[in-house]
Amino acid sequence: MSENAIKVLYRLHKSGFKAYLVGGGVRDILLGLQPKDFDVVTNATPEEIKGLFRNCRLIGRRFRLAHIVFGRDVIEVATLRGHHVDSGEKISKTNAEGRLLRDNVYGTIDEDAERRDFTVNALYYDISDFSIHSYGGGLQDLQSRTIRMIGDPNTRYREDPVRMLRAVRFATKLNMTIEKDTAAPISELAPLLKDIPAARMYEEILKLFFNGHALNNFNMMRDLGLFEPLFPLVNSQLVDEPNGPANKMMKSIMQSTDSRVKAEKTVTPAFFYAAILWYPLSQRADDIALEGGLSLYDAYYAAMGDVMEQQCSTISIPRRFSTPAKDIWQLQLRFDRNQGTRAFKFIEHPKFRAAYDLLLLRASAEGGAVAKSAAWWKSFVEGGEEQRSVIARSVNKGSRNRNSNQRRRRKPSAKKTSENTGEQAASPSTDKPAG
């Protein structure tokens, strides 16, 4: 257990409050996993918690939370939640679809457990006697590896549609199965995800696709209808062309991301979004070029803003990631033009490596001319200094030979027609009037 979590639990306990380690921290320890988060619940109010800890800050409007800060380590402390019966609008409020907008209703541990989403998360470690409190059959479901909703799934999903994504994430992360009744309403209620604030969805997507189970989450989300509300542009292409490059690209991206996470290599949302949105971008650029008669580069540049704006309407992408994603897109248009000696300068671009990785993914998905270009760049990137010079010169030499052949094949231009006599110019090859 986290030493800082233990400090928080004991200070609350010694101050006369009930304090429990709850949820994923308890669940993962029981499964033999290393927890990433240690959450604490208590019967102390947020203001009382803040009075006990100088390193505390209160956050949240929908549900008030206390963050106890120990350098980079943050222990989240929540007050035990209660039911909404006879609660005023100032502390509890839902919208027309049943989604909770405000939820500052406090209660007992029994009430709090009933408010948890899944039984495997309704596990409480009591610091006062070192016991574990299990609600709704949580320990049994943990042993049978079952994700089961506490309460009526339809109602609970409407309270917070993100629970549908959490069901998927826990099932793949913990190698569990979503119980039949818990899974049944998801496809019908999936469109409710469109009403979730885009900023919150950004965090949920990070948890889904950057935890080492991206491919499994992607497949399950598509099966349950959860992918389309979040990535409508991508999903449209996946449906329209089941065997097209977009489908191959998505699987390659997910596999690559999982491999990097498991190898403890860095993964960045900038590359992730640049890759999954590449084919929607290409489609939009083609449409703009056709409608407006723009050049390929100008059409792509205009399409970048459109595609990123539409994606951000469902999932907020911070500018620190959306701007590099656009840089990666722009560089795709330069690979063919920068072969030869220009390649030496091109590979020094700060975003070259990310753009090159996307080129390789495109080559795997598309083949053809893109694969040929990727093969050239692969030999250049992986070659030594002398090899690079030979590879670059071969391209320039081939280019000069083609230009020379074109000049030799070009016919001399006809003489200008005499402005005074109106006679036609003679053909250089026959000295006879042309035509």
Residues catalogued as catalytic: 37, 39, 117
Interhelix angle 214-224/162-173, rounded to 10 degrees, is 130
Task: In whole angstroms, give the CA distance from residue 42 to residue 66.
Answer: 11
State the Cα–Cα distance between residues 114 and 125, nearest whole angstrom: 16
Whether the Cβ atoms of residue 314 and residue 344 lie closer than 8 Å to each other: no
- Cα–Cα distance between 408 and 424 in angstroms, integer? 25
Query: Which residues, other chains included, contact 262 with Cβ-Cβ below 8 Å and sequence gap of 6+?
Result: 212
